[in-house]
Structure 1
Amino acid sequence: MNIHKSYAVFGLGRYGKAVAKELLDNGATVLAIDKDRRVVDDLAGEIPLCKCADVTELGVMKQLGISNIDVVIISMAENFEASVMATMLCKEEGVKRIIVKCANEVHCNILKKVGADEVVLPERDFGIRFAKNILTSGFLDIADISSDFSILEIDIKEDWIGKTLRQLELRNKYNINVIALKKGQDVDIVLDPDGIIEENTKMIVIADKKSIKRIK
């Protein structure tokens, strides 16, 4: 990370706040912005340059001096329209690098087309990263990857044995996404939807917090 560059973070939810604090902890100058006054007031003591503003308005962006910022991280995935508008305005203001957090692949593709230099899809990106990690470590602890999703290792249910992933329909029934199958020290991340689930197999899954309770 280049601490001599200037950074701005739009949206101070769990993800945006974590990014802003990490940048600060590493000595970078960070302008943190959220439209919720309560959020800004709560973080004012932790983030010196913390402002309440609507980054979907061009006049506001100009007042904030966004054209002087090197890198903008837009963390407003829950509001796609706002993410698009903020991305377009940053591009118009000449921001050199625009990184946008997305809610899904479709949003990622659209945001790239309107000016995002990089897109972040936490569920996908963390899933890939953790899958690579378990190939070397052979074990995965429960980990939060966002305010809503976790990645964890689960034991298969007895009635899943002998069935295929396609037959189980875990995404439809439980809203969980299987990213790997583990048996002993062997981990398979290239999943065959018609492969038979064998006894003593464990699953590495990404799921929201409510779904986790249903499958435990």
Structure 2
Amino acid sequence: MPLKSAAVIGLGLFGRSLAKKLAELGAEVMAVDKDEALVEEIKDFVASAITADLTNEKALIDSGVCDAECVVVAIGEGIESSVLITALLQKHGAKKIVARSHSELHARVLTALGAKRTFDPEEEMGKVLAEELYAPDFVGRIRLSTGQEVIEFEAPKPFVGKTVQELQLREKYHLNIIAIKRRKADEENQFEINQLPRPGDLVLSGDVIVAIGPQDAARRFEAVLAEGHGG
């Protein structure tokens, strides 16, 4: 189910971006920071924005952040503050706490205090950029908790003009094609989606192929594409 409500604590560049995007996606967002200027900057983009120092237990209770379906502690500086706020959120019954970490030790402490997930935006962005640089033909990827990975990639030249069956992605790479996205004529970034394509369906130049398979298989296929092969 989509997230219905969220509270974002800490409105630095990352926190503001997160709060705005969640609101844009349809969640009811409460944005909180002790800096009034940052709160003023975001108030028109979210359901509510309040100025408060949530290291103060009474302020945290009065703010109502614990009523949100998910609370994100997005504080960019001040490890002590993020630790204290996470502990107070857990104490007062926050349903799901996601917290920004600055080191492996910080992440372990936050997890021990009740954070369901920790993240380091710079580290995660570094990994994403590395993957994009390593395999620039990949449009996107989604890792699943089952150990599978969904990948999107633009059809390389050796694929063009072949049928799904002739590609032999399952036999060669243990990947199953689940969709082919074809750009609509004269409509930039608009696609017609052929879900579960048939063995005889052709791959054309510019098609984006969506496939699923084990993560290690996806990695091997990335290496093949990076070398300019794939046929």
- TM-score of the two chains, using structure 1 as the length reference: 0.60
State the partner residue of 1:98.
97
State the partner residue of 1:25.
24
> What is the distance in 1 between the residues matched to 2:6 and 2:137?
37
State the partner residue of 1:37.
36
The answer (yes or no) to whether the contact 2:97–2:117 under 8 Å persists in 1 is yes
Shift of 1:8: 0.0
The answer (yes or no) to whether the contact 1:21–1:47 under 8 Å persists in 2 is yes
Provide structure 2 residue ranges, at least 5 long, that are not aligned to the other structure.
139-225
State the partner residue of 1:9.
8
Task: Please state whether the residue corresponding to 1:116 is helix, strand or coil.
Answer: coil
The answer (yes or no) to whether the contact 1:66–1:93 under 8 Å persists in 2 is no
State the partner residue of 1:59.
58
> What is the distance in 2 between the residues matched to 1:27 and 1:20?
11
Superposed counterparts of 1:74-85, under 5 Å = 74-85=73-84
Once the two structures are superposed, residues 101-128 of structure 1 have per-residue CA deviations (whole angstroms, 9 ceiling, x without a partner) of: 1122221111111121111112221222
The answer (yes or no) to whether the contact 2:11–2:33 under 8 Å persists in 1 is yes
Shift of 1:138: 6.2
- Report the AA paired with residue 108 of structure 2: N
The answer (yes or no) to whether the contact 2:32–2:52 under 8 Å persists in 1 is yes
> What is the distance in 2 between the residues matched to 1:77 and 1:106?
16
Equivalenced residues, count = 144
> What is the distance in 1 between the residues matched to 2:42 and 2:76?
20
Task: Please state whether the residue corresponding to 1:56 is helix, strand or coil.
Answer: coil
Task: Please state whether the residue corresponding to 1:47 is helix, strand or coil.
Answer: coil
Superposed counterparts of 1:98-117, under 5 Å = 98-117=97-116
The answer (yes or no) to whether the contact 1:44–1:50 under 8 Å persists in 2 is yes
> What is the distance in 2 between the residues matched to 1:23 and 1:123?
19
The answer (yes or no) to whether the contact 2:86–2:115 under 8 Å persists in 1 is yes
- Report the AA paired with residue 110 of structure 1: V
Once the two structures are superposed, residues 42-80 of structure 1 have per-residue CA deviations (whole angstroms, 9 ceiling, x without a partner) of: 222233401100111111121112331110011113110
Shift of 1:23: 0.4
- Report the AA paired with residue 2 of structure 2: N
Task: Please state whether the residue corresponding to 2:29 is helix, strand or coil.
Answer: strand
- TM-score of the two chains, using structure 2 as the length reference: 0.57
- Report the AA paired with residue 48 of structure 2: L
> What is the distance in 2 between the residues matched to 1:10 and 1:133?
30
State the partner residue of 1:46.
45
The answer (yes or no) to whether the contact 2:73–2:86 under 8 Å persists in 1 is yes
Shift of 1:9: 0.2
Task: Please state whether the residue corresponding to 1:32 is helix, strand or coil.
Answer: strand
The answer (yes or no) to whether the contact 2:28–2:47 under 8 Å persists in 1 is no
Q: Which has the larger radius of gyration?
A: 2
> What is the distance in 2 between the residues matched to 1:131 and 1:10?
29
State the partner residue of 2:183.
none
> What is the distance in 2 between the residues matched to 1:16 and 1:78?
12
> What is the distance in 1 between the residues matched to 2:13 and 2:107?
20
> What is the distance in 1 between the residues matched to 2:47 and 2:65?
17
Provide structure 1 residue ranges, at least 5 long, that are not aligned to the other structure.
140-184, 187-216
The answer (yes or no) to whether the contact 2:12–2:76 under 8 Å persists in 1 is no
